[in-house]
Amino acid sequence: MTNQPIIILVHPQLVENIGMTARAMANCALTELRIVAPRDPWPLGEVHLQRMMAASSGADSILEKAKLYDTVEEAIADLNHVYATTSRTNDMTNRIMTPRAAIPDMVERTRNDEKVGVLFGPERMGLINDYVAMAGTKITIPLNPDFMSLNLAQCVLLIGYEWYQANDSTPANQIRLGKSRPATRDEYQNFFNRLQMYLDEAGFFTADDQRPVMSRNLQASLQRAEMTEQEIRSWHGVIKALVLGPRRSTPSKLVEDEK
């Protein structure tokens, strides 16, 4: 991603939250941070600096490259489109979007080489209406209306998370195979046939008319397991051990011949 949204903290109060914001940004592969008139003046004193760095959990480079501004106007001056996060319900007329609805538009803009940024207001208060009015898109994160206390860095994380997902190609549902591969239908069938043979020998199917139904049910539960070739081999071993019992459960010439 060459072009990504710039995170803009407006009047942040706590240096810990600036540090945690950098950490959340790093989690989402965002690198550009702008800070407008933080409560503690920059450059920070030693104590504040250490608290911020500790909270960033190693996202130092984002903090070191962060740019400081006196006003929101200056911080957004070079941007083509601004998103404002707000939980306010006020009398202002606003088109409000969820992050999930707003992010595809953000992705499109960055791909069209627009420079975009997201405004986050100070802890507790959020963005004042004057700053919300400066933004082309207003974003409100749908969360529990009975517990609105969303930490600043967590708000950044949720926007960054949605951004990352929109640009990510991780399969939604994948098998990590370790050293094996998914079993073939043939390997599945061989295993089930052997299981059924042993069960017949052991007199498992007491009534002949139950056999097809029970057999299908057993097979269905095996199918749901979606085993690997390695796992099928392990279960061959399990069955063999059960059939041969304690005296014979160590591999013997006879067992090997059975393969």
DSSP letters along 7-68, please? EEEES---HHHHHHHHHHHHHTT---EEEES-SSPSSPPHHHHHHHHHHHTT-HHHHHH-EE
**CB-based contacts of 54: which residues, under 8 Å, 6+ apart?**
19
Instruction: Please tell me whether residue 90 binds its own copies under the rule CB under 8 A.
Output: yes
For the four alpha carbons of 85, 88, 91 and 94, in that order, the dihedral sign comes to positive
Identity of the residue, 226 or 258, whose beta carbon is nearer to its own copies in the bound complex: 226
Site string for its own copies, 207-236 (x = CB under 8 A): -------------------x-x-xx-----
Provide, rounded to whole angstroms, the least separation between the CB of residue 49 and its own copies.
20
Q: Of the candidates 112, 149, 206, 221, which one interacts with its own copies according to CB under 8 A? A: 149
Instruction: Please tell me whether residue 2 binds its own copies under the rule CB under 8 A.
Output: no
Q: Of the candidates 100, 111, 216, 248, which one interacts with its own copies according to CB under 8 A? A: 100
Instruction: Please tell me whether residue 125 binds its own copies under the rule CB under 8 A.
Output: no
Instruction: Please tell me whether residue 144 binds its own copies under the rule CB under 8 A.
Output: yes
Identity of the residue, 40 or 231, whose beta carbon is nearer to its own copies in the bound complex: 231
For the four alpha carbons of 55, 118, 128 and 125, in that order, the dihedral sign comes to negative
Instruction: Please tell me whether residue 151 binds its own copies under the rule CB under 8 A.
Output: yes
Q: Of the candidates 125, 175, 202, 242, which one interacts with its own copies according to CB under 8 A? A: 175
Measured between its terminal Cα atoms, the distance across the chain in Å is 53
Instruction: Please tell me whether residue 94 binds its own copies under the rule CB under 8 A.
Output: yes
Q: How many C-beta neighbours within 10 Å does residue 253 have?
A: 6
Q: Of the candidates 13, 32, 128, 161, which one interacts with its own copies according to CB under 8 A? A: 161
The b/e string for 211-249 (b: 16+ C-beta within 10 A; e otherwise) is eeeebeeeeeebeeeebbeebbeeebeeebeebbeeeee
Site string for its own copies, 3-42 (x = CB under 8 A): -----------------x--xx-xxxx-------------
- 34, 7 in Cβ contact below 8 A? yes
> Radius of gyration over alpha carbons of the chain, in Å?
30
Instruction: Please tell me whether residue 124 binds its own copies under the rule CB under 8 A.
Output: no
- 106, 83 in Cβ contact below 8 A? yes
Instruction: Please tell me whether residue 154 binds its own copies under the rule CB under 8 A.
Output: yes
Interface residues with its own copies (CB under 8 A) are 20, 23-24, 26-29, 57-59, 89-98, 100-101, 140-144, 146-147, 149-151, 154, 157-158, 161, 164-165, 168, 170-180, 226, 228, 230-231
